Amino acid sequence: QMGANDCQDPPEYWTIHGLWPDKNQECNRTWHFNVTEIKDLLPDMRHYWPDVLHASLNRTEFWKHEWDKHGTCAATLEVLNSQKKYFGKALELYKHVDLNSILLKAGIKPSSSYYQMTAIKDALTRFYGVTPKIQCLPPEEGEKAQTIGQIEFCFTKELQLRNCTALKGEPDPVQADLKLGTEELSLCSDTLPTYYPSQVQ
């Protein structure tokens, strides 16, 4: 839906957006992204963390953005303090969470009929034991349903799953920095019917 892009064959599975520390700004502008540092991760990166918006041959634009904005901040943790560790750990967490197969097991799959958001939330909370943050595109004009867009899992600094709710004295978890067309993802409403499309049309 993002207008002038060449989104070729978008994957029909959940992919990675990023691994974000609560600080949401570039932390070290001098630490530039270098794809050679993650060359042995590239097959997994292309599969699980694809850039479907930029047509450049090496398609590293998305990874560069995530490193500049979030990775250089995350690197204050020893377990994430290099590009190899940051991207490698994000891939590891993605595989550990295994969202694709968990949703399928719960009978939640792309469909032309609508879901109740509470049913999706309950299924995920039941399985993971924590509450993720589910983000949607609001209904378009004249439509009644929101469209599921992103599912965010929250971790402690020890990288254990935790509820995605602000801890006392902490700011709310970072808002999405993903815009689809003119629409921005926002927290899904519990009361609106929810569309989980097989492909973004």
The residue annotated as part of the active site, out of 37, 61, 66, 92, is 66
* φ, ψ of residue 116 in degrees (nearest 5): -85, 130
Catalytic site includes residue 70:
yes
Please indicate whether residue 17 is annotated as part of the active site. Answer: yes
CA 40/CA 36 separation, integer angstroms: 8
Buried b (16+ CB within 10 A) or exposed e, 58-96: ebbebbbbbbbbbbbbbbeeeebeebebbbbbbbeebee
Q: Is 178 exposed, middle or buried (0-12, 13-18, 19+ CB in 10 A)?
A: middle
Out of 47, 54, 61, 70, pick the active-site residue: 70
12, 17, 37, 47: the active-site residue: 17
Catalytic residues, by residue number, are 17, 66, 70
